[in-house]
Structure 1
Amino acid sequence: MKFLLRIVFVILLVFVLPTLVSAGLWATREHPRGWRDADWSSAGMLPEAQVSPDAAIYVFSAMTGGFKGAIASHAWIVTKEKNGSYRRYDKVGWGTPIRVNNYPADGLWYSNRPRLVVKIAGAEAERLIPKVEAAIEAYPYRQPGGYRIYPGPNSNTFVAHVLRQVPELGAVLPPDAVGRDYLGDGTFYALDADGRDLHMSLGGLAGFSVGARSGLEVNFLGLVAGLDLGRPAVKVPGFGTVGF
């Protein structure tokens, strides 16, 4: 009995308390009343494509709208061939899930400014773009009906899949990317393509990740706590990565 009480106490302390604090802080700020009132324009983070001819790959993440915006974010992928234009890939919850260029490459999401998760440019981007696009094409939940907001497969499940398939991008989604740990129906573990990160999950509801990019993470009901060992930081539910 004492052991169970200790587990409950740890869950409350590590997962529930930070989430409640984050939700409380969120409630004190102003937010769009709905998607029609939100700003979806460019955040001005990327140069015009013709000004920057080099190939590039970007992964962005931004806090989402509604009350889920207190703890959850939305991620997307941007590619640009050498001397080409930007192509933005999102997964959404209506129609054909994978959308291309529905929004500006660096657009605000529900009026929230994007965070740059990773950027690859130049010759390395030229080499990786075909692998990224192959991973997008091979994503198993790209057909109509292949979206579920919780626990997945959602927008973050999609981007996390690409990051696992192309580990050369060298990134994982932030801890507030709820749905990133959903591995698939009946799939309990996944090993990144280079074998350096292992992910275990019970339908996206509970599990852990460990490896060179993930560090040490424990996920519970879509919330993530852990340590980033490569870039020393603590991963806190509701707050994301807090660096030292």
Structure 2
Amino acid sequence: MTAKGAVKVLSICLLLLALLLAGPVFVIASGTVSLRVDWSRADRTPVGLAPDPAATPEAVVQVYAARALSWRGAFGVHPWFAVKPAGARTYTVYEVIGWRAYRGLPVVAVSNRDPDGRWFGATPTVLAELRGPAAEAAITGIAEAAASYPYAGEYRVWPGPNSNTFAAWVARAVPGLRLDLPSTALGKDYLGHGVVARAPSGTGWQVSLYGVAGLLLAVEEGVEVNLLGLTVGIDPLDLAIKLPGIGRLALRTAAFPK
């Protein structure tokens, strides 16, 4: 390759990188996320999205996501699964928390925290929900998938495995959720040493090289291209485009915010 050709390739790569980072930069500039968060004082109160277990005898499964803490929120979200068996008076929450790995603990956390609590100030949205018998069946699958998560002793913000890698793992094990993880679920495409896997929704397939580059084709997610862990895509069902940092821009409202 000539020097002129090398310069042209470098220019294209830099332009592509700038386009990928434009979304996260916009999120920070718009004030959607704050770079200065005192996690010890951050708001963790519930927002009213979870059915009151005392007034809801049927089984409930909800999948949530909220912007990650501090600068991470410009790139991605933190997801979790909240489940309540029929007749139960409390929810059980399954999620991966990175700091646990730094203390030598398994990263998968199982707790009875508020299912719809803010994630250190960030308001969550519901990505998927099941009720009744469908939820009851999914609860068992979620518990089994969480117990068999292959990266229980590992955590990396980028490219994974992280909390979104866990969400994708559980979703593949419980296809009844038809979980369409948002484009801001950085780490959802990390497959470890694998290259091919079902899409998290269970409605298609994906190929991925260590979560850094890949392609996903599925009925629920649409078409997604993963570059450096950042997702660009098109969702024909919801007439939406998916952008890094920003998330989805849709002409039609989806069943759940994504």
Greater mean deviation of Cα atoms: 5-14 or 126-135: 5-14
1:11 alignment partner AA: L
Q: What is the percent sequence identity of the aligned residues?
A: 33
Greater mean deviation of Cα atoms: 129-138 or 108-117: 129-138
Instruction: Give ranges in structure 2 of 5+ residues lacking alignment.
Output: 252-258
Aligned to 2:203: 196
The one of 2, 8, 17 aligned to 2:13: 8
Distance 1:107 1:31, change over 3 A: farther
1:150 alignment partner AA: W
2:59 alignment partner AA: A
The one of 88, 105, 130 aligned to 2:140: 130
Instruction: Give ranges in structure 1 of 5+ residues lacking alignment.
Output: none
2:180 alignment partner AA: V
State the Cα distance separating 1:156 from its structure 2 match.
0.8
The count of aligned residue pairs is 240
Aligned to 1:89: 94
The one of 234, 237, 240 aligned to 2:244: 237
Distance 1:34 1:102, change over 3 A: farther
State the Cα distance separating 1:11 from its structure 2 match.
2.2
* Secondary structure in 1 matching 2:66: strand
Cα distance in 1 for partners of 2:55, 2:43 equals 25
Distance 1:42 1:194, change over 3 A: closer
Aligned to 2:23: 18
Aligned to 1:225: 232
2:30 alignment partner AA: L
Matches within 5 A, 1:156-235: 156-184=164-192, 186-192=193-199, 196-235=203-242
The one of 44, 47, 50 aligned to 1:43: 47
* Secondary structure in 1 matching 2:169: helix
8 A contact 2:165–2:189 mirrored in 1: yes
* Secondary structure in 2 matching 1:230: helix
TM-score using structure 1 length? 0.89
- Structure 1 runs, 4 residues or longer, greater than 4 Å off: 29-32, 192-195
State the Cα distance separating 1:192 from its structure 2 match.
4.7
8 A contact 1:56–1:119 mirrored in 2: yes
The one of 54, 66, 83 aligned to 2:70: 66
* Secondary structure in 1 matching 2:54: coil
Q: Aligned pair 1:153/2:161, yes or no?
A: yes
